[in-house]
Amino acid sequence: MFDFGLKDIVDILIVAVMLYYLYRLMKNSSALSLFYGVLAFTAIWVVTSEILDMRLTGTILDKFMGIGLIVLVIIFQDQIKRFLIDIGTHGRLSNFKKIFRHADKKNSKQHAQVLAVVYACMSMHKSKTGALIAFQRENSLTDYEKTGDEIDADINMRLIENIFFKNSPLHDGAMIIAGGRIASVGCILPVSHKMDIPKHLGLRHRAAVGLTEKTDAVCIVVSEETGNISVTMKGETPRKVDSIELEKFLSDTLYGS
């Protein structure tokens, strides 16, 4: 008979929550099938070693599990990093800080910045000017800022349009906005290798997904071919938005309003 008590129930719930959280992370990456394979192998190992007490098979699988943990850390290093980042940032007291701010003045400035980006994107949408804009949140984007030209400028509609103008030497790279300012332009972002990204989406879209796979940044992409405006976060496939949806997306994800 098993001695099954409250501690065991809590233990099972903790493991279930961890597996669910890992599943959500893997779902946004190309590693989901591999994750299923790891779960199946682990289940077989538990059944043979712990339940059926098959010593020979259990010993062999034990050796694989010992090596496998190191291999899994290498394979899932991006997902593990994202998991730890989310844990580290989730408990921050950012919401309590807002209580002590001059909310009206702050929100007014933030809204003006959002509108400047939205108007610039709508203008580039009409002219089919390609653009990639990344917004820093909790995770620092300093390493990516250093790959471009640091300008530290106010968020301005005309400036954004001029930077992404087709004849501009900086139009091919990404613009990074951090701390309510345009921090750097012409930046190089990591390209996602996810297989489920639609083929009609270009390199800008893959770079946007790649950055949001590795950090908690949010990205806007304006397609040079169609003029469509897309947004992405958490490694998700970019989705098309209109001006109203774009304004709401930026307000909600950046300022929670």
From the number of C-beta atoms within 10 Å of its C-beta (0-12, 13-18, 19+), residue 210 rates as buried
CA distance 161 to 166: 10
pLDDT of residue 120: 94
CA distances from 148 to 67, 107, 121, 142 (A): 40, 29, 21, 10
**Chain segment 185-215, per-residue pLDDT in tens:** 999 999 998 888 888 888 999 999 999 998 9
Q: Beta partners for 135?
A: 177, 218
> Judging by beta carbons within 10 Å of its beta carbon (0-12, 13-18, 19+), is residue 141 exposed, middle or buried?
buried
Contact 124, 157 (CB under 8 A): no
Residue 40 pLDDT = 77
The reported pLDDT for the residue numbered 27 is: 59
Tokens at 251, concatenated: 């307000």
- Supply the angle between the helices 77-90 and 203-214 in degrees, to the nearest 10: 60
How confident is the model at residue 125, as a pLDDT? 93
Model pTM score: 0.62
Q: Is-contact 41 57, C-beta < 8 A?
A: no
Alpha-carbon dihedral 30, 86, 257, 223, rounded to 10 degrees: -30
Q: Tell me which residue of 206, 226, 201, 211 sits closest to 176, measured CA to CA.
A: 211
Structure-token match 């030497």, residue found? 169
Sites in the chain below the pLDDT cut of 70 = 1-4, 21-35, 38, 49-50, 58, 63-106, 257
Are the C-beta atoms of residues 254 and 218 closer than 8 Å to each other? yes
